[in-house]
Amino acid sequence: MSTRQAIRAQVTRRFHASAERTFDAWLHREMLDRWMFGPAVRDEEIVHLSLTPRVGGSFSVLVERDGEDIEHIGKYLEITRPSRLVFTWIVTTEEVGSRVIVEITPGETGCELTVTQELHPAWADHVGRTEEGWSRMLEALSVALEEDEC
């Protein structure tokens, strides 16, 4: 067993939406495809998105990006509404996966969300790019939550 520590990419963002609404956006297909994948985040098309949002359940997202099919899969390890969500994250074209931890703290006017992705040490050079990706996704989540409120 390796003694090497996981590398952490971490992004925190405040939302005007409640902790419950923000949490639910991670587990409802209709919201997930509006902010985590697709044209709201990057130049890609969602080909397939399915999820079974329960501990032990899984998700699968197939996107077409630059003429290439890229599949993201994972399993839900912990679901504690509305404060904590933990899942594995694997891009099937890569050899190693990661673990994502979402922590949400309610506030007086919305909530604060921190997403931490624990990466294999081999991905140490990709922390900045990973944080940039999560920042784009969380910006798209903010827009989706605001649009949903109207």
For residue 83, being part of any structural domain is answered with: yes
Rounded to whole angstroms, how far apart are CA atoms 106 and 109? Answer: 8
Domain around 93: 7-149
For residue 2, being part of any structural domain is answered with: no
What are the backbone angles phi and psi of residue 107, rounded to the nearest 5°? -130, 180
3-state secondary structure of 130: helix
* pLDDT value of residue 150: 55
Cut 0.85: pTM above it: yes
For residue 62, being part of any structural domain is answered with: yes
From first to last of its 150 residues, what are the pLDDT tens digits of the chain? Answer: 344 678 999 999 999 999 999 999 999 999 998 999 999 889 999 999 999 999 999 999 999 999 999 999 999 999 999 999 999 999 988 878 999 999 999 999 999 999 999 999 988 999 999 999 999 999 999 999 999 875
For residue 1, being part of any structural domain is answered with: no
16 touches 112 (CB < 8 A): no
* pLDDT value of residue 2: 45
For residue 65, being part of any structural domain is answered with: yes
For residue 34, being part of any structural domain is answered with: yes
* pLDDT value of residue 3: 43
Rounded to whole angstroms, how far apart are CA atoms 95 and 92? Answer: 8
Determine the Cα angle at 132 with ends 45 and 46, to 5°. 10
Domain count, the chain: 1
Neighbours of 109 (CB within 10 A): 10
Q: Is 116 exposed, middle or buried (0-12, 13-18, 19+ CB in 10 A)?
A: middle
Report the length, in residues, of the chain: 150
84 touches 102 (CB < 8 A): yes
Nearby residues of 74 by Cβ (< 8 Å), 6 or more positions away: 58, 59, 87, 88, 89, 90, 97, 100
Tokens of 10: 């971490």
Task: Identify the CATH number of the domain in which residue 27 sits.
Answer: 3.30.530.20
Instruction: Identify the residue whose tokens are 């990466």.
Output: 119
